[in-house]
Amino acid sequence: MKLICTQENFKKAIYNCERAVAKRNTLPILNNILFETEKGGLKLSATNLEIGISSQIGAKIEKEGKITVPARLISGLSNNLLNGDNLIIESDGDVLKIENKTNKTVIKGISAGDFPLIPFRKGDYLLELDGIEFKKAITKVLVAVAVNEARQELTGINIKLKAEGLFFAATDSFRLAEYEIKLKEKDINKEVYLPFIEKNESIIIPANTLIEFNRMIAEEDNFRVKIAVEDGQIFFEMDGIRLVSRLIEGKYPQYEYIMPKEYKTRIVGEKKFFQHAFKTAGLFSSGGSNEITLKIDAEAKAAFVYASGAETGENSTELKFDITGESQEVVFNVKYLLDGINIAATEQVAILLNSESTPVAIQEIDEKSGEVLNNFVYIAMPIKN
**Site of interaction with another protein (CB under 8 A):** 25-28, 30, 47, 49-50, 52, 114, 116-119, 151-153, 171, 173-176, 231-233, 244, 246, 249-255, 257-258, 286-289, 291, 310, 333, 336, 357, 359, 379-385
Cβ–Cβ under 8 Å, residues 22 and 31: yes
Integer angstrom CA distances of residue 93 from 68, 87, 210: 11, 19, 37
**What is the nearest approach in angstroms of another protein to the Cβ of residue 166?**
18
Q: How far is the CB of 105 from another protein (least distance, A)?
A: 28
* Amino acid in position 73: L
Provide the minimum distance between the beta carbon of 5 and another protein in the complex, in angstroms, as a whole number: 27
Closest distance of CB 288 from another protein, Å: 5
Query: Which is it for strands 328-333 and 32-38: parallel, antiparallel or unpaired?
Result: unpaired
Q: Which is nearer to another protein, 5 or 352 (CB)?
A: 352
Amino acid letter, 209: T
Residues linked to residue 158 through DSSP beta bridges, in sequence order: 169, 204
Which residue, among 136, 229, 243, has the nearest Cα to 182 in the 3D structure? 136
How far is 295 from 70, CA to CA, in rounded Å?
A: 57
Q: Which is nearer to another protein, 20 or 296 (CB)?
A: 20
The alpha helices in the chain, defined as continuous H runs, are: 7-18, 71-80, 131-142, 190-199, 207-216, 271-284, 334-343
Task: Report, in Å, the least distance between residue 272 CB and another protein.
Answer: 25
- Considering the complex, state which of residue 269 and residue 382 has its C-beta at the smaller distance from another protein: 382
Question: Among residues 255 and 304, whose Cβ is nearest to another protein?
Answer: 255
- Least separation in angstroms between residue 250's CB and another protein is 5
Do 96 and 11 contact (CB within 8 A), yes or no?
no
In contact, 335 and 357? CB cutoff 8 Å:
no
User: Least CB distance from residue 114 to another protein, whole Å?
Assistant: 7
Nearer to another protein, 131 or 359 (CB): 359
Of the two residues 176 and 238, which places its CB atom closer to another protein in the complex?
176
Nearest approach in angstroms of CB 277 to another protein is: 20
Closest to another protein by CB, 4 vs 143, is: 143
In angstroms, give the least distance from the CB of 262 to another protein.
17
DSSP assignment of 184-249 equals PGGGB-HHHHHHHHHH-SEEEEEHHHHHHHHHH--TT---EEEEEEETTEEEEEETTEEEEEEPPP
Amino acid (one-letter) located at 55: S
DSSP string covering 165-184: EEEEEEE-SSEEEEEEEEPP
Q: Which is nearer to another protein, 59 or 338 (CB)?
A: 338
Cα distances from 142 to residues 40, 58, 137, 227, in angstroms, run 37, 33, 9, 19
Cβ distance to another protein smaller for residue 10 or 376:
376
